[in-house]
Amino acid sequence: MLPRRSFVIFRSFLTRNYASGPSPHALVFLEHRQGDIDSGSLSALTAASQLGGKVAGLVVGSSEFVPAVVDKVKKLKGLTSLLHSTSDLYAEQLPETLSPLLEKLLSDSEYTHVVSTPSSLAKSLLPRVAAKLDVPLVSEITSLEHDSSSNSTTFTRPIYAGNAISTVRLPSSVPIKFFTVRATNFDPAPFEESQEIEVKAIDPVDVPNCPTKHISTQLAKSDRPDLSVAGRVVSGGRPLKNAETFAATLNPLADVLGAALGASRAAVDAGYVDNSLQVGQTGKVVAPELYMAIGISGAIQHLAGMKDSKMIVAVNKDPDAPIFQVADVGLVADLYEAVPQIIEKLKQ
């Protein structure tokens, strides 16, 4: 008797909900590295909260890190529930091992949106999952608006290396709306001590005959702030000649400002710095308070990664360099003379 009645109630609840459009229920893929929560994930959470419905977080990893991450994450403002899945299988996060878990979680579920930061992992994983669920994905959104009455979500995102802004809508015919969030456009979600949310473990999904094996990872070590979240960035280009002069010239400037280091593609390709420091369309997108472009001409592809910075300062020998069209403060000078003087005068 009882089970049957509750079933009926549940059904009528669903029907009523559908008539007025279901309330959004987002699943946010929260990333961590060695137990530290990824700051981009906090911005993704903020974006998910703007949908105006429930927000579930998902944390996946090995038993070594997941418990500590869960403890931190459950205090995040905006989360209404937290799911976690722990397995040795997830120690090295591969799209091939994670996508079956997400697929299972999302199939026949109440989730309406899947949200993530555009990390190299999420960008590899989410399209794979979306394709399996036969839905599109909107990459790197800069704003969003959900309309509950039509069950559609409208996003803006840059296209053509940020030279145009596209406004796109995912209609109600897309049952689960996948999107990744540009961290520079959403403040990170804060922590809230007193919060009590439902925390639930989910079983890992085994992947027999996984075609892919992780071999090794090399991370560039640095004491400097992380490029994508730094408030100040000092970035260098081709004229810095080689790795030694790049470091000798820009490290002291970054040190005096407490800034992260960045680079143009030319500098990265020439091997002056690690690839992960590339700023631009195909590298990192940054929007710090201060961006100092030293010896960077300002190609479209580079501007795509930094033109939302609050203040842009450029030092370049070429007075016609395109960087001067976006720089708030431009100095036409030889960088080898100007940079040491800037350091000297900043210290005064």
Nearer to another protein, 86 or 93 (CB): 93
Nearer to another protein, 74 or 157 (CB): 157
Residue 145 binds another protein (CB under 8 A) = no
Residue 313 binds another protein (CB under 8 A) = yes
Residue range at the interface with another protein (CB under 8 A); choices 48-56, 75-83, 137-145, 242-250: 137-145
Residue 215 binds another protein (CB under 8 A) = yes
Contact (Cβ atoms closer than 8 angstroms) between residue 306 and residue 287 = yes
The dihedral through the CA atoms of 51, 57, 58, 61 has a sign that is: positive
Within residues 232-251, the interface with another protein by CB under 8 A covers 232
Start-to-end CA span in the chain (Å) = 82
Residue 224 binds another protein (CB under 8 A) = no
Within residues 163-202, the interface with another protein by CB under 8 A covers 163-171, 173-174
Neighbours of 98 (CB within 10 A): 26
C-alpha to C-alpha distance for 313 and 294, rounded to whole angstroms? 8
Nearer to another protein, 41 or 85 (CB): 41
Helix axes 120-132, 95-106, angle to 10 degrees: 50
C-alpha to C-alpha distance for 152 and 79, rounded to whole angstroms? 22
Using the rule CB under 8 A, which residue among 69, 82, 125, 261 binds another protein? 125
Residue 188: CB minimum distance to another protein, A: 16
C-alpha to C-alpha distance for 257 and 325, rounded to whole angstroms? 24
Residue 4 binds another protein (CB under 8 A) = no
Residue 102: CB minimum distance to another protein, A: 11
Nearer to another protein, 14 or 165 (CB): 165
Using the rule CB under 8 A, which residue among 195, 201, 329, 334 binds another protein? 329
Contact (Cβ atoms closer than 8 angstroms) between residue 180 and residue 43 = no
Using the rule CB under 8 A, which residue among 107, 212, 242, 251 binds another protein? 212
Residue range at the interface with another protein (CB under 8 A); choices 17-25, 49-57, 188-196, 310-318: 310-318
Nearer to another protein, 82 or 94 (CB): 94
- To 5 degrees, how large is the angle CA 204–CA 61–CA 138? 90
Within residues 34-93, the interface with another protein by CB under 8 A covers none
CB-based burial, 55-70: b 16+ in 10 Å, e otherwise: bbbbbbbeeebbeebb
**Would you list the DSSP string of 142-202?**
SEEEEETTTTEEEEEEEEGGGTEEEEEEE-TTSSSEEEEE-GGGSPPPPB-TT---EEEE-
Contact (Cβ atoms closer than 8 angstroms) between residue 31 and residue 117 = yes
Nearer to another protein, 82 or 327 (CB): 327
* HSE (side-chain half, CA atoms, 13 Å) at 185: 21
Residue range at the interface with another protein (CB under 8 A); choices 50-58, 63-71, 193-201, 299-307: 299-307
Q: Is 131 helix (H, G, I), strand (E, B) or coil?
A: helix
Q: Length of the chain in residues, anyone?
A: 348
Q: How many residues bind another protein (CB under 8 A)?
A: 93
Biggest CA-to-CA distance, the chain: 86
Using the rule CB under 8 A, which residue among 121, 141, 183, 267 binds another protein? 121
Within residues 272-291, the interface with another protein by CB under 8 A covers 274-276, 281-282, 289-290
Using the rule CB under 8 A, which residue among 1, 2, 8, 219 binds another protein? 219
Residue range at the interface with another protein (CB under 8 A); choices 4-12, 50-58, 105-113, 334-342: 334-342
Residue range at the interface with another protein (CB under 8 A); choices 44-52, 192-200, 236-244, 324-332: 324-332
Backbone angles phi, psi at 76, to 5 degrees: -75, 130
Residue 214: CB minimum distance to another protein, A: 6
Residue 345 binds another protein (CB under 8 A) = yes
